[in-house]
Each structure stands twice: as structure tokens, then as C-alpha cells.
Structure 1
Amino acid sequence: MLLIKNGQLIDPASGLCGLCGVLVDGDRIAKIGMCGSLDDMATESMLLRENEANTGLTDAQSEDTLVSIDAAGCIVAPGLVDGHVHFRDPGFTYKEDIESGAKAAARGGFTSVVMMGNTDPHMDNTDTIKDVLERGAKTGINVYTCGNVTKNMAGKELVNMDELIDAGAVLFTDDGKPIVDEELMERACKEAARVGKVISLHEEDPSFITDNGINAGEVAGKLGLVGSPREAEISMVKRDIDIARRTGASITVQHISAAESVDLIRDAKREGISIHAEATPHHFTLTEGAVLKYGALAKMNPPLRLESDRLAIIEGIKDGTIEMIATDHAPHAREEKAKDLKAAPSGITGLETSLALGIRELVDKGYLSLMDLLQAMTINPSRIYGIDAGAIREGGWADMVIFAPGEEWSFVQSASKSSNTPFLGERLPGKIIYTICRGKVVYKA
């Protein structure tokens, strides 16, 4: 058994917040005891006695198997949940693979992740989905996967959603490629509504884009580029809100970047349309000026935009328009990002810095409480995608992160195969002390 004592438990799923002890038996949470002013020994004794009554264990057996973690000064929260990661496996394992991606996730406090399907082969067939899930089950964290919306992510023919769900797909997306064909998108939404799954959408109309990864504006002009205008995103968000309205489908707008998109989603939610949105830490932290400082390390799709967009995204998270914070963890090899800006691929890694940036940019600056931040990083994505994760409850999975919100750490080395991030080398708050998945320590500082 594992006893976590003296920590400040924050569980957004229940609203529980206070000093606590958490007793883990195997892969489940056996007991949660609020300790208040009780000292360590009273808390431990209380939890053990109550557990013995439930399990029939003797004092000797309990003592023989008990391991304690003193979480004094730390937050004990549900293991973080990321509904949008790229582990590049199969097909591009020189950038990342399932094992290395899972290590980066655990180091960042994540116990559950959903892999995207722009792999080779794609997540458009049952064999590939079953393979990655079997290998993911061996990593120590909970690895889920999407199914693609269209075969070969070509935007021409729908997959068999029933078959991919049976194989284990938890959502559908062609992330990395927008579904341009409106008629196909409407059929996909009808199918997704029928099977009760969410379609998660990369909203950038390629017909608007000259140079992807960089905002069309002042910075692009300085670099001799045209860039990607905000209309590329806004136009597709408008279209897909209309399709969701007609079909009753549930959709997610991924990695939102433009203030107008936030407004459109807010209005759609008020109308009762089943629409969700995610924001990345880089979009609520940086603006297009970062490209001048970091070069290709600040190139991503959709691009970093203006300060007004950054603030609109933060306001969207604050008022619940944007329910999820997702990393869009997108590893690339060093030599790929070393190319000139136009040729370099878009995307940055993010699993190891997500919580820290949320604390620094949203909590410490007064936009969100720590409870609100954790809600967007735990129970919200779990509920939206139907994953059994993101909560601390008796009888539930023992998936937790223990972190010190005020303790700084240096991000100098990544557990990922790749380190294409502008945040490498920074001092960041929110040191992860332990990540625990299914009752086992999968990361320890």
C-alpha cells in the first residue's frame, strides 16, 4: 500500500480542496482522509484503521506493505490528462516513440494522453490502433489514441468509425490536416453523432495560407514572408459551428489561436451547440514576436498571433469557453528545426512544461485559481472524451501528480527524444515531485 500524507489535495472533479491523506491499495484509491490540524501519526493511524476494516488486513500486514510519501508543502492533484499529443509512432520514431513520449508525459505530471494519428501508417485501421495501444499499455502511463476521420488522412473517404472504436479509438481527428470538403465534414459529423464520439478539428483553411507556421502580419513582413492569416482559422470555425448545429455532432476546435474564434465558440456554446475548445500553453504564453527571438522553435500551426489574441485566449479559458489545455506536443529532430524558417516543420514539444506555464502565466498572474487550471488539465478533457481519468476518488484509479507550485526548476534536459521548444533552459515554477499512475511511481524528481 502507498500512503500520501500532508499534501494539499485539489480535485476539480469533486471540488475537494484541503490537507489530506490518500491511501492507495494496488492500483486503486482505497481511502481519502481529510486531516485538517491532525498530525502525521493521527492521519496515518486513521487511514490504516479504516482500510483494515474494509480489507481485513492485519496491523502486521499493513506495516509490511506500507510505503509513505510526505507531500508537505505540495499539491496532490489528479494525474494530468492531455487530449492532444504526437508520439510519432509508428513511422517517425527518430523524432519520438511511444516509450519516450510517455516518459516526457510522466515527467510533466501526465498520467493519461491521447495520441494523434498523423503517423505512418495512420490511425485509420484497426491493426495500427491495436498495436499502439498494446505498446502504450507497457509504458507505465495510460496511452489512448484517436482514430482518423478519413482514410490515409486524405480528406476523401471516411473511415469505419465503429471498427476503430472497437479497436480502442476514443475520439476522431485528422489533426494536422483540416477537413476541407464541407460535404464530407457533414457526413463525418453525422457518423460521429451516431457513434457518440467527438471530432477534434485542426481549423486552418489551406487556401488562405502562403507560409504556414507564422502569423500573417508585421513579423512575417520583417522576415520576407506572407504567413498564415487569422481568416484561415476563423472561416473554418464558422463553417464547422454551422455543421455541428445541423448535425448535432460534438466537435472540438483544437489549439485555438484567434480572438474571433474564441468569440464564435462562446456564442455557439450559449446557443447550446456541442462545441469544445482547447488552448495550448504556447498560445497563451507567446505572441508572433517570439519568432524573431526563437526562430523555427516558435513556428507552429496555427501560428502565434497578437497580444490581443493571447489575452482573448486567456479570457476564454477563464470564462470556460475554452475548457481544455492541451500541449499539442509535437517533437521534431534538431536538424529539421535547424532549417531556414520557411522550410522548417511546425510544432514544439510541450508535455514537460505545460503545468509550469499554466502556473506562471495563468495562476501567478491572477487569471485563474490553481483549481481552475487543474480542471482544464484533468477532468475536463476526461469528460469530453469519455476517459476514466482526471479525478481523485475512493475506488477510482490511483493516478496522481504531486508538485510544489512555488518551487522553481530548470528545464535543461528533456525526457523526449526531441527538444524543439523555446522554453528549454528557462527557470519555471511548479516542480513535479512525483507522478503516480495506477498506484505506481512512474516519475520521481
Structure 2
Amino acid sequence: MIERQAHSLATSPLALKVMLTALAMLMTLTGVTFHLVSQNGQGGIFVDFHAFYAAGSLALEGHAGDAYRMATMEIVQQRIAGHETFMPWTYPPPFTLFVAGLATLPLGLGYALFTGLSLAGYLLMLRRIAGNFLPGVVLALLPVLVLGVITGQNGFLTGALTGWFVLALLARKPGAGLPLGLMIIKPHLAAGIAMLTVAQRRWQAVVTAAGVVLAALVIPTLVFGLPIWTAFADGVRESGAFLAEGRYPMHRMTSPYAFALGLGAAPGLAFAIQGASALAAIGLLGLAWHRHLSPRLLAACACAATLFVSPYAYDYDLTLLGVALALVLPDLLRRTGRAEQAALLMLAWSATGYGLIASLLGNGEAVRVPQQPLALMAPLLLVLIGWAAMVKRRRLLPRPDIAAAPPGAVDLPVGALGTVSAAS
């Protein structure tokens, strides 16, 4: 009876409706607040979507390159927020062109359209992968979803692109290259899935992705001119210096670099630790491919490995973890009891929501590392992923009420990415 209740929560339509309704209400409140504050000119809390809007506004004024100079961007951000802020702009020019389109709309409307549509695309993708287990995925990912809604970040967009790529790749569709190519907006988050594509010799997808990337590079060049790339390169160098100085909110970063820097390591040592973690993550993904893990598990490994590649990775990028969870949740439920499921859920909330809670309880501003909460997201994520990996290696519990494949999920060919081994 207890196990059936745990299972029912992971597949409960009522639980899903409650969570989605709460997210919709939060999004409406946030959008209305953004609109009223911008109309009154009183300033207010400055979040990521405001930075999108600031960069887009500069682009519309014919000064897209200025978005990559913090001295200029800081002035625009202060005008919007009404107080000093620190959000350097390091997105590639294709995304700068995209946010220029958003800046043609009123702030609140632009936020609502971008966040609402990207969240819808992300949830639809999760439904295709997880099937009837979508409520369980949303429940485990709730801190990330709340964070994405209140900040208007692009985590829903990158998560949706990653998930739709996984679906297309597992179904052996050449169109997998389209979402892969669109990840040019955050190329460091495509490391795992790009490696998977090459390892599987999916050359049609590679060619399609290359074509999309080429178009994404040419179009903003035609719109902004060649100097936009010089400005972008200068902005990346400037942000690298800021990262070494610890001027970002490191407690919201998920990278081993942030964890090491927070413990007092010198920037050089912290970068070395990050490099080692990136090599280890990619190496483990290669080992998973070599062992011929099941298609869904291998795709989940690719999403998880990506989280540890770049030193610049934030809590809102953990939408990729949601894709991995959607791929393996039914298997985890079939190997765990209710108590362990509750413990895993608490750990998932801690690992994904630590940065948000630390910001609310402490000084959430972008100040120097010694003044910030300790960056604990990387070790928490490692424990969570390691625990899930150990669970996956266990024998199945006698659980006839949980199907081996998620009901309602997309039917993926078992041999799409290799044969299923006993270890998978």
C-alpha cells in the first residue's frame, strides 16, 4: 500500500495540475510586476530577463556591441533597476539578435511570452520522454522550475532543445541536428550531446547542426556587422577576468570551479580542478558508451556529464538534469522504497535549490567570494547523481504496479544507441 502511494504521487494528474497552476500564477504575478515597475520607472529587483531586455534594447538602438562592455551595460542595467547591478553579457551574437526581438515588446509582455512559451516547450518535451511519470519529474525539479519562472532565464529553452534533440536522436531522425545546432546560444551546454552524436556517427545530424550553426553565425553578422564578433570576444575575456576574481554569485554556480574557489583555492588551482572534472565527466560518458548502456540511460549520462564541463554553469541550467531524470525516473522508482524515494527527493531539492535559498537567506548580490555563501551545488549534485547511479545498478524490486517503460512516453527503439547490457 505504501509503495503504491509513492508510485501514485509520481504519476498523479492532480499533483501535476497543482504544481503547474502554481507556476502559472507565479509567472503571471512576475510578469505583471515587471510591467508595472517598468511603467512607473521606480526600478526594482533586477533579474536575468532584465539583462536580456537591456542587451536587446542596446541592439535596437544600433549599439549591440556595447552590450559586451560591462561599463556600458552597467549604465543601462542601472537605468532599468534603479540601483547598481552586475550582469555581464557574454551570450553569442545569435542570442543577442534574438533578445533584440524581445526588446520590441513591453518588458512584462516580452517576459511572459518568452518564459511561458519556453516553459511549455520544456514541459511538452518532458511529457514525451517521461510519459505518465511527468508529475514525478516536475516534483523533483520544482526548485529549478520556480527559479526559471522568477528570473526569466533561458534554462527552459536550452533544456527543451536538449530534450527534443534526445528524442530525435533516439528515434534516429536526421532532424536531431536542428536543436543541436540551436544550442549555439549556449554551446558549453551541448558538450555531452554533441559527443554522443559524433560517437554514434550520426553524420546527418552533424551536417544539419553545422548548417544551423553557420546560419546562426551569418545572420547576426549581416545585421550587426563584423565588429560584433570582436566585441563578443572582448566581452568573453572580460567576463573570464570577473570569473577569476569571483565577482559572480558563485553560490549559485554548479561547477567544481565555484566550489573550489569558495573553499579558498587560487583561481589557477580552481580552473585545474574544473578541467579535471570536465575530463572525468567526458571520460565517464565515453565509458558508458563503450559499455553499450541502454539508449535512454546513455542519453541521461550525456545530460548529466554536461553539467560538469564548463566553469560557468548556473542553477537555472539544471533543466538538463530534468531531461536526465525524465529518462530514468521509472527505473529508479522500481528499485527504491518509499523512504529512499523521499530521501532522494529531499537531496534533489537541496542540490537544485541551494543557490536560490542561499540568495534569499544571505547576500544574493554579486559580491566577492569571501562575502558569499559557500558554493555547495557541485558536491550536492555529485552525491545525487552518484546515488542514482548506484540505485540503477540494483535488481528490480517486485513492483508490478510500475511499468518497465513509462506509459504514455514516446516509443524509442531499444537498439538506437547500442545494445542493452546487464549493467544498464
TM-score > 0.5 by shorter chain: no
- TM-score interval, normalised by the smaller of the two chains: under 0.3
Point out the structure with the larger strand share: 1
TM-score (ref. length: structure 1): 0.26
TM-score (ref. length: structure 2): 0.27
